Structure formats: C-alpha cells, structure tokens
Amino acid sequence: MKLNLTYQLLAEILDGEAHLQIKDAEIDVVYYDTRLISQGQKGVFFALQGHKNGHDYVKEAYEKGIRLFVVSKTVDLPDDASIITVENTLSALQTLAKHHRTRFSYPVLAITGSVGKTTIKEWLYYLINDHFTVVRSPKSYNSQLGAALSLLELNDESNFAIIEADISKPGEMELLEDMIAPTLGIYTGVGKFYAENFNGVKEHHAEQLKLFKHANICFALEEYASPLRRSKINADLTTMDQWKDFDIYDFTFPKNAALVLHVADFLGVHNKELKEKILELPVLPNRMEVFEGQNGNLIINDTYNIDIDALEQALNYQFFSNERQEKVVVIDVSYVDEDRRDSITEIVKSFDPSQLFVLDEDNVLPEEVYKLKNASILFKGSFRSNLSKLVQRFKNRKHETWVEFNLKAIQHNIDVYRSKLPQTTKLLVMVKASSYGTGDANIPHFLQQIGVDYLGVAYTDEGTTLRERGVSLPILIMNTEMNAFDDIVNFCLEPSIFSLDQLNAFISYLDSKGLDDYPIHLTFETGMNRLGFYPEDVEGIIDTIKNTKTVRVKSVYSHLADADNVDTEYTRSQIDKFGVIRTAFKAAFDQPITFHILNSEGASIFGQEAGFDMVRLGIGVFGYTSRAEKDELRPCLKWKTTISQIKTIEPGETVGYGRTFKAEEKIQIATLRIGYADGFRRSLSNGVGEVFINGQRCPVVGNVCMDMTMVDISNVDCEPEDEVEIIGENITMQEFSEKMDTISYEVMTSINKRVARLYVR
C-alpha cells in the first residue's frame, strides 16, 4: 500500500473534524487492526466498530508508533497524536478508497456472486499475470471493508486490477459499485449464501448485478443470461461446452474454470498458453485439505471462509464419504454477522453430525475435541480466525516433512485411461502397500467416490484395513494366504486363487462353513513366471469348479511382464495366450465372467484391442509411467520438508558422519528435517541428491543421516523454516528415481509412514 497522502489532505478527503498536530506529515498505509501494525511504516489507524471496537485499541496503536487516528467518538491519546473525527469510520475508509480508485485509469475487473469469487480471482491472475501487472484483492477480501482495503492496494506499477465484492442484504451493492467503479466484471451467480435476506432468487440476482451497471462488459455463464438481461447488463456469455477441450471437468469447480478461460481468452491470452497453464492452476491454501490426524482422526481443513455454499460443499464431502463413521464439525463464527450465525448452525445440524462445536470470539477449542478418536473432523471458519492455526495441532506428524497428493491429478489420470478403453470396460485400481505409499484409506475412499469399479490389494490384512475404514467397493486379494480364509469371508473380500491345492483348500473351508457361491478370481501364468495356474491346467480347474457349488468364478486374469517395452511382441504373445484361456472359460460357463490382463502401461497401448472386461491400473493412476508424458498424465505427488538450521562452514571443515565432505572454501549449509528413515536414501549422499530451495538447486553435502540431511545453500537466499522441495515441479519423480537407481514404485512405497500425508482437492 502506497497512499502518498499528507495528514491535511486525508482530512480534506474525509471531510472530518481535524485536530492535526502536524499537517504535512505523510501516510502510506491504512491500519484497522493493531496486530497488523508494522514499526517504521507511516500509517493511519481507522477505529472501526465491528465485533470489536477499534476505539478500545487506539492506545495500543499509538504505542506501536501510529500518530494519526480516524475516529467517530472521543478518545484519550497523548498530545502529539493527530485526530480526524468522522460520523462513521467505515464510511470514511470507503471514501478514502473511492478517492484512491479515481487516481488510476487502468481496467478494474470486479467479481461477485455467491461462491467461487476467490478461486476465480486467483486462477485468472495465474492465467494473465504474464501479460499484465496485476493488483488483486488479498485473500478473500470482498466485504464493505475488504473491498475498500483491496482498492487501497492499487498502485502506479500495475496496469490491471481484480477486486472481489460481496453483499449480505439489499442496498449494499450500490456502495461497493460507487467505490470500485469496475470497468469489467465476472458474475458467478446465486447460490444459497445470504438467500434468507432477499425476497427470492430474482432479487438476489438483481442486487448482485448492480455492481456492473456502469461496467463495459460482464462475463458470465450462459445460464445467467436471463438475470443479466433483466438487469440490463452488457454481458459476454460462455458455455461449458466451449471449453470442454481443456478438461475443465477435471476440476472440483468446472464452472469456475470455464469462466476464467473465457475471460483470459478475451484479454488476449492465446489458447496454446491457456492449455499449458490450465494444467497447473494453483490450489488455494486451506481449500479442502484432507489429512490423517492424531488419534486415528481424519481431518478436513477448510478454514478459508465461512460462506454457506462453501460450507455445504465441505459438509457434502465429509458426509458422502464412508470413511470414519463418527462425523464431527467444528465451526468458528467469530467473524460472522449475528443474523447469519443461526443459518450456518442450522445447515450443519441438517447433516446430523455426531457432534457439533461452535467457536465464538475466544477461539478456544473445547477439550473434548482434542480427545476425539477415529472420527472425521471438519474444521470450518474464516481465514481471519485463529482456527486455521489450531487445526495444525491435529496433524499426525512429529517433524516438518510431508507429502501432498493432488486428487484432481488422480482423477484426470483415471479419465485418461477411461478414454483409451471400450466404454464397457471396468476399472480396478491397485491400492496395495498403502495405496503405493499414499495412505491406507484416503485414496481408496476418493476412488470409491469417483466411480472406480474394483480395488486390488496384495494381502488380506490390507483388505481388512480398507473394510475397517469404511470402503465398500469389491476388493480383490492378489496374494491369498491359506491362513487368512476367515478374514476373507468375514470382511467380504474376494480371493485370487493361483494353485489347485489352494483352490481345494478354499472349497473345503467354505464347505465347513456351509457357504455357497463365494466369488473367486483365477490368475493364470502367461509369461510373468510369478503366481498363477498354467494354461494346461484349464481343463482340470473347470472340472473342479463345475463339481462344487461353494465357489463362483468372478474373474479370470493374468499379468503382463513387459508392457512398457517399445517392442510389443512379448506382450502380444501373452495377450494371445490369455485369449485362448478366455475362450475356454467362456465356453464352459454360462454365467458372466470378467476377464482382465492389462496394467497401466498395457492399458495405454492395448486398451482398445485387449481391454476385455476390466483393466488393473496401478502407478499410472498417480501419473508415473514410461508413457506419462505421451499420455498427458499428471504427477500427483509433492514431497517437501523444511530447513532446521543454517551454518557457515569454513575451509577445511568437514560435514556429517564419516567426514566424507571437506570444504575447500567457505560455504553455507542447511540442515533439513529429512533422512534415510523417511525414505531419502543414503545413496543420495555427497552431491548425488539435490533439493530445491527458493528457486535454486542445492546439492547434498556429506552423508545423509537417519533423520537429517545437509545441503549446500551458498547461492540461495533462505532461512530456517523455509520450505524445501524433494519431489515436485522442479525435481521430478523420474529424476529422483534415477538418482536413487530405482523406479517410482519404490520411491513412493519407501516414504515412511511417519511422513505426513496431505490430500488436496
């Protein structure tokens, strides 16, 4: 903020009663919260009256160096304080914002609507920031106060502005329109937020659209053509179909994606650039962050805003999932108007949570919340509240090393495979080894929600864990143990049978329990030489099964050994062998049997010709195959840590165990909170491995320790607690795997469970 005002000029703008000790002192910054005051900045304090009265904090502002105050009642301050008295301090601040707005002639784009404003603002900024110098509303500042503060950020260095605006009742938008004076607009439409204060949807539309009565163009989806026409707004409309080639349906909010693409296209961003950037739209902080918490709890952190529409989306996500039967909701209403608090709590109660905790101004979590176990806990509140910090106490990690999984990327990858298969082909996703290291339950639940047909695990205990976590999809056990038959039946799991002895043993077990028609899966050897019957066993297996009522063949399958080889001859020979087995079973049984042989690599190449009834996807779901780039798969994993300490190493000094590194010159090193116990192997020692810190690659110095790693940061501007990329946008999974002389499978499954898992939608 750079206002370039004097005390005298501010008094004239506000037309207030001024008692100025000095008139020509300069001010650059507006403060309304003493916690935000920065020493050394030339500021003015507006004593706003909200749920806290700013007049009670003027002395604290004075002690922090403020000497100019805008107030609406008498205050007791030292003699060297200058005071401007106005009738209403918020109105005065808006008057200042309006004056500041008139200094700039570049385009100001305003966004309003019931939901999605901040997402659209941040996404549009990302798409156009290479073409414009953009100033935009901080966070989700969109209220009468927030919009004013946003306008005060306008500056001479920028040439485009994006401002959010929101209303809670009729009559408010005229004030915002007069202050913002937008030249362009985006309208997101009406949801349920604040609807109780309007006489129906039509009035709600009409009040929101008053923001654009003097704007040149308002951008919106075609579904809002009628209210735009009724309000006589000059509109430029788009449809979802216009942007379907950009995979907008991969996004949690596809309508928002369509809108920002339409506006960016209008502003001159080329389609080729849009197609590249749309793949990397930022995930907003605290938007549906899901992670495993302490005491077996699942934490849903949505402490970004308390909009009713966003609240309902979060509740739908929580209650749609079967994961964790106990559903607990914690909402912070400390920054919510009194007339809205009842509406918010009523909506939460309509979902019938197991427990509901409502926090007020004190922001104190009840002790009962800390004692919860094995529950799904949704935290919902304004970004201004303290709740976002309190949520961090529930994270299940002892040190600052974590992996993030992008669920949007996973869904995109699954859709890529679907496009390569016949429409009737089902999807089985392998979630063995804790879903390839992504976690025991979150990914399986997500796969269940987006319509995957089957899950596959290696061992029975993996299947029982999923059942205990509420996963209801069919689960195939690939490596069935004979001593696990009880758990298989008790948890409704489906065993893979790979030998005649095993088949007879399972039939005998079912006979002893008086069970019939139990589903089994038969695996055949076609060239992998691992588990499975041989093709010559087909006739005997068919006879055995036909002579019993205890089992029913649910599927027949085989494994490809070399699907990623550019030479497809071996894979085709396996498919041909499997085709013969398939023909024999189809001839022997009238009931439907599912046949499958393709893995991720195989589905990419042979999906149309050998997709059969189902394919088994594994690492491809997470975006890591030899054909990932060609198939336009998206990597889903980011692995990060933080800096613990920074030291200066003098020439001749050594670093780490074994003293394998000796400094030839003066350098700086950072000690990171990651080691080989986390999965960052010791083979990455002495410059083999690198990390990425604040725009620079930093080589490993000395030997990797069990819990710590040292890196050279001599050319990096950084400090303790800064974030460090292990795998991400700059150091890819492929590069990291190659440096560890392994494959992505092993990297993912080797990340220790003590490393926190975060899931971002």
Residue 200 lies in a domain: yes
Q: Tell whether 67 and 177 lie within a shared domain.
A: no
Alpha-carbon separation of residue 604 from 286, 336, 345, 629 (angstroms): 35, 51, 48, 12
Residue 265 burial (10 A CB sphere; 0-12, 13-18, 19+): middle
Residue 39: the pLDDT is 65
559 φ/ψ angles, rounded to the nearest 5 degrees: -115, 135
Q: Tell whether 334 and 233 lie within a shared domain.
A: no
Q: Tell whether 608 and 681 lie within a shared domain.
A: no
- What confidence tier does 264 reach under pLDDT thresholds 50, 70, 90? very high
Q: Tell whether 618 and 692 lie within a shared domain.
A: no
Q: Tell whether 460 and 540 lie within a shared domain.
A: yes
Q: Which of 370, 534, 657, 753 is catalytic?
A: 657
- What confidence tier does 284 reach under pLDDT thresholds 50, 70, 90? low
| Mean pLDDT score across all residues of the chain | 89
Phi-psi region of 195 (alpha: psi -120 to 50; beta: other; left: phi over 0): alpha
pLDDT in tens, 101-130: 999 989 999 999 877 888 899 899 999 999
pLDDT in tens, 95-106: 999 999 999 989
Answer whether 44's CB lies under 8 Å from 30's CB: yes
Q: Tell whether 85 and 144 lie within a shared domain.
A: no
- What confidence tier does 638 reach under pLDDT thresholds 50, 70, 90? very high
Q: Tell whether 539 and 410 lie within a shared domain.
A: yes
pLDDT in tens, 365-409: 888 998 999 999 999 887 667 787 788 788 765 457 888 888 888
- Is the Cα torsion angle 96, 99, 104, 107 positive or negative in sign? positive
- Mean pLDDT over 344-364 rounds to 84
Distance CA 344, CA 350 (A): 10
Cβ neighbours, 10 Å, residue 683 = 14
- Mean pLDDT over 559-568 rounds to 91
- Mean pLDDT over 496-517 rounds to 95
- Mean pLDDT over 643-658 rounds to 94
Residue 186 lies in a domain: yes
Please check the confidence at residue 133 and state whether its pLDDT lies above 90: yes
pLDDT in tens, 155-199: 998 999 999 988 878 888 999 999 999 999 999 988 654 455 677
The last residue of a domain, from among 396, 429, 444 = 396
Q: Would you call 432 a catalytic residue per the annotation?
A: yes
Q: Tell whether 337 and 474 lie within a shared domain.
A: no
Please check the confidence at residue 141 and state whether its pLDDT lies above 70: no
Q: Tell whether 666 and 598 lie within a shared domain.
A: no
Q: Would you call 657 a catalytic residue per the annotation?
A: yes
Residue 440: the pLDDT is 65
Q: Domain residues for 712?
A: 638-742
Q: Which of 432, 554, 638, 640 is catalytic?
A: 432
Residue 64: the pLDDT is 87
- Mean pLDDT over 3-23 rounds to 91
Residue 55: the pLDDT is 93
Q: Tell whether 329 and 381 lie within a shared domain.
A: yes
Cβ neighbours, 10 Å, residue 717 = 10
Lowest mean pLDDT among 25-29, 442-446, 524-528: 442-446
The last residue of a domain, from among 606, 631, 656 = 631
Residue 473 lies in a domain: yes
- Indicate which CATH number applies to the domain containing 679: 2.40.37.10
pLDDT in tens, 530-546: 899 999 999 999 999 99
Q: Tell whether 377 and 410 lie within a shared domain.
A: no
Count of structural domains within the chain: 5
The last residue of a domain, from among 396, 414, 434 = 396
Please check the confidence at residue 713 and state whether its pLDDT lies above 70: yes
- What confidence tier does 286 reach under pLDDT thresholds 50, 70, 90? very low
- What confidence tier does 40 reach under pLDDT thresholds 50, 70, 90? low
What percent of the chain has pLDDT above 90? 62
